[in-house]
Amino acid sequence: MRVLSPALLLVLLAAPALAQEYTEEQKALIIATIAANGCTIDEAGAERLMPPLGIDQPLFIAVTSDLEEAGQAIFSDETETMTLAPEICP
């Protein structure tokens, strides 16, 4: 059974309230940035890499939550990282 960290649980619970529209270009930019970061990103990496690209936290959460729901990303509570699935980041 998977146990969520309190911080990740708060993010996921807040995601519907923070639901934000995004473009396919924004989604592709986030995926490409995570891919260039070794297919994995943690909170510090997101805070460092996303703002210069014009990606704020609500947008990042919306995209990554959708990626996880689609099985295209996996969140690790143990390392508090998100890793893109091999199908989109070989």
Query: Over the stretch 29-63, which tens digit does the pLDDT of each residue have?
Result: 999 999 999 999 999 999 999 999 999 999 999 99
Edge-to-edge strand list for the sheet holding 40-42 = 40-42, 81-84, 73-76
Q: How far apart are CA 26 and CA 60, in angstroms?
A: 9
Q: What is the pLDDT of residue 20?
A: 78
Q: How far apart are CA 74 and CA 12, in angstroms?
A: 13
- Tokens found for residue 57: 């936290």
Q: What is the pLDDT of residue 28?
A: 97
Are 76 and 65 in contact by the 8 Å Cβ rule? The answer is: no
* pTM, 2 dp: 0.77
